[in-house]
Amino acid sequence: MGKVFRVEYPIRFSHCDPAGQVYFPRFFDLLHDAMEDWFNLGLQERFADFLMKRQLGTPTVGTQCDFLSPAHFGDTLVIELSILRLGNSSIELGFNASIDGRACLKCRHTICIFSKETLKAVPIPETLRSRMQDYVVAAG
């Protein structure tokens, strides 16, 4: 079983619609924040340097998300990230988000590593791949 990266975010007023619930696109912002934190803290790869110095990017290839229950202003959202599939240049991330143990969303989110210079997918750098391998969860 692979490692799971876990991060917590307070749900702020700016995340919410007039009813005080997180507006669904804001969940994607929070998932991206979790991915950036995973790069910075979990993989020890400064995300800003990855993009700006290494000239690599992580565009979204596909996403599938099930919204299970709402999150409200004042809640603390716990996001867990793991790797469901590690390809040559693509990574399928699994996100589970909850509040006080209550599931809020489950997401399968595929990104790829691409060159900002050529705008084409490139293999995951080997040093990064070896650190990502720790987060791959067993199939099934």
Question: Which uninterrupted H or E stretch holds 81?
Answer: strand 76-86
Q: What is the pLDDT of residues 60-104, one digit of tens each?
A: 999 999 999 999 999 999 999 999 999 999 999 999 999 999 999
The torsion angle over the Cα atoms of residues 43, 48, 53 and 54, rounded to 10 degrees, is: 40
pLDDT tens per residue, range 18-43: 999 999 999 999 999 999 999 999 99
In this prediction, residue 139 has a pLDDT band, given cuts at 50, 70 and 90, of low
* Architecture in CATH of 5-135: Roll (3.10)
* Contact present, 60 and 109 (Cβ < 8 Å): yes
Domain map (residue ranges) of the chain: 5-135
What CA–CA distances, in Å, run from 32 to 60, 128, 138, 139? Answer: 10, 18, 23, 24
- In this structure, which amino acid lies at residue 84? L
Overall average pLDDT of the 56-60 stretch: 96
Residue 30's alpha-carbon distances to 25, 26, 64, 123, in angstroms, are 9, 6, 15, 26
Instruction: Dump the DSSP string for 2-70.
Output: ---EEEEEEPPGGGB-TTSBB-HHHHHHHHHHHHHHIIIIIS---HHHHHHTS-EE--EEEEEEEE-S-
Structure tokens given for 116: 């900002």
Alpha-carbon distances, residue 16 vs 39, 70, 88 (angstroms):
26, 10, 37
Band (pLDDT 50/70/90 cuts) for residue 44 is very high
